[in-house]
Structure formats: C-alpha cells, structure tokens
C-alpha cells in the first residue's frame, strides 16, 4: 500500500521537524508492507531527502518541466534536476495543474521526460463534477489515460492516482460502489499489466474507514491531511486496524 503525501504549496524548513513522528512510526513498523512518499514543494526536496536517509520513506516532486534537458525556461525545474536533489517520484497531471492549462499532451511529454530521468510517476486522472453528472466519467478517464500515456510502452514506473476533481479538498468522497467501478474500469484499460491504482481526494482519518474496505485500491494520495503528521499516521494505522 502506498501513502503518498502531497503537500501542495505548504511547508517550510521548520515544518520538517514535525516529520520526526512519521520517521519513528515508519521505523517501528518496518515489517508492514506500506510505502510512504512525501511530495513537498521543490524548496524542501533536498533537505527532506537528507533527513530521510536511512529511513524507508521516499521523496517526490509535484510537477516538472517537460524537457529533461536544461534550457532557457525561467522559473522551471526539470525531471533530471529533481532526481539530482533526491526525488524518486513526481506527481504529474494533478487537476490543480490541469485547471490552469496543463493539457494531456503536455502531461504526456512530462511523463516521458520523467521516465527518461528515472523517476516514478504518479499520474493523476479524474473527472469533474460536471462530467460525472453528465455520465462522462469513464469517457474522461479513458481519454486522460489514452492521451497522457500516448506512445509509452513500458509503464512499469507509472502509478495511477484516481482523483475525482470534485472530491479534492471538499470533504466529499465517492460512494464505495462508484469508486470500485471506476478503479475497475481503469484497471481494465491496462489488461493484465495494470499499474498500481491509488485513490485521492479528501482522504483523512475519518474517510479512511470507508476507503480501506475497497480492496482494489493500492494506496492513497493524500493532500490536506498529510500536512499533519499525527493525522497522516492515523490514516496509515486505521488502514490496517
């Protein structure tokens, strides 16, 4: 099971102290088969990965430029640079970036360059409320997968995060039966070699009681609740109780 923390644009050097609890929890539970990955803002990737040396917790980024080569791109960071400072993962296609203009084809280029740089990709897909209401969920998911993963043959470094846009940061989660249907639909798209499929959107220490019962889910992408170490640990604990 994956527990991936998406810190979004939160956190500073001081915040990292709060991770000591999670480091201890991870060390005390080495035998459990869960994988914790922290995706902080880029400013914290290096200090965080230094702090996590000798732990099983890994670090990821939240986005990157589409070229793995250096270039005249003010304000941008590429996948190679992220790898260089300790990131092993990168979140791509998050709806907060799609909403500000990131297209499927741009996401596809980012995925390709991140694969070349040796990062694992957490590829986010999900329908808006409007699409869900007009029964276009499957159509949206299909298109995002098709365009986002266009001409990528080796998908072994790809993890899918199914995040219904309407459930991100809202406290709303899909009904279990709907969620199972969507995850199965995604898995079916890949046939026998399905990547791991995570769920994201309002995962917290309360909603986890419902979500953990859904056996087709391979883990969680956690936003808001991951910034509080106690809540984050609670989510992991509750998954296994």
Q: How far is the CB of 169 from ligand PGA (least distance, A)?
A: 4
93 binds ligand PGA (CB under 6 A): no
List binders of ligand PGA among 158-177 (CB under 6 A): 163, 168-169
Coil, helix or strand at residue 117: coil
DSSP state of 128: -
CA atoms of 120 and 100, how far apart (whole Å): 24
Q: 64 phi and psi, to 5 degrees?
A: -160, 170
CA distances from 111 to 49, 122, 132, 169, 240 (A): 22, 9, 26, 25, 32
201 binds ligand PGA (CB under 6 A): yes
List binders of ligand PGA among 6-35 (CB under 6 A): 6
239 binds ligand PGA (CB under 6 A): no
Of positions 107, 221, 235, 236, contacts ligand PGA by CB under 6 A? 221
219 binds ligand PGA (CB under 6 A): no
224 binds ligand PGA (CB under 6 A): yes
Q: How many CB atoms lie within 10 A of CB 184?
A: 13
DSSP state of 66: S
- Residue with the shortest CB distance to ligand PGA: 223
Q: How far is the CB of 174 from ligand PGA (least distance, A)?
A: 12
The CA-to-CA distance between both ends of the chain, in Å, stands at: 14
Coil, helix or strand at residue 130: helix
Longest dimension (CA), the chain: 51
Of positions 57, 173, 203, 236, contacts ligand PGA by CB under 6 A? 203
Of positions 219, 223, 229, 232, contacts ligand PGA by CB under 6 A? 223
Residues that bind ligand PGA (CB under 6 A): 6, 163, 168-169, 200-203, 221-225
């Amino acid at each position: 099971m994956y527990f991936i923390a998406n810190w979004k644009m939160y956190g500073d050097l001081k915040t990292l102290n709060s991770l000591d609890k999670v480091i201890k929890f991870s060390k005390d539970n080495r035998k459990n088969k869960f994988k914790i990955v922290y995706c902080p803002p880029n400013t914290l990737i290096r200090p965080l990965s230094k702090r996590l040396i000798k732990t099983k917790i890994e670090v990821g980024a939240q986005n990157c430029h589409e070229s793995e080569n250096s270039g005249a791109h003010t304000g941008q960071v590429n996948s190679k640079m992220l790898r260089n400072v300790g990131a092993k993962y990168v979140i791509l296609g998050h709806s907060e970036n799609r909403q500000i203009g990131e297209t499927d084809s741009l996401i596809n280029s980012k995925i390709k360059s991140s694969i070349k740089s040796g990062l694992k990709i957490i590829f986010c897909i999900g329908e808006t409320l409007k699409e869900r209401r007009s029964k276009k969920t499957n159509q949206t998911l299909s298109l995002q997968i098709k365009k986002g993963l266009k001409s990528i043959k080796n998908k072994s470094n790809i993890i899918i995060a199914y995040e219904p846009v309407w459930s991100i940061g809202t406290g709303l989660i899909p009904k279990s039966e709907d969620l199972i249907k969507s995850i199965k639909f995604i898995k079916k798209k890949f046939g026998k070699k399905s990547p791991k499929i995570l769920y994201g959107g309002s995962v917290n220490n309360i909603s986890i009681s419902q979500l953990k019962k859904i056996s087709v889910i391979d883990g969680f992408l956690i936003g808001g609740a991951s910034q509080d170490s106690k809540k984050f640990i609670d989510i992991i604990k509750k998954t296994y109780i």
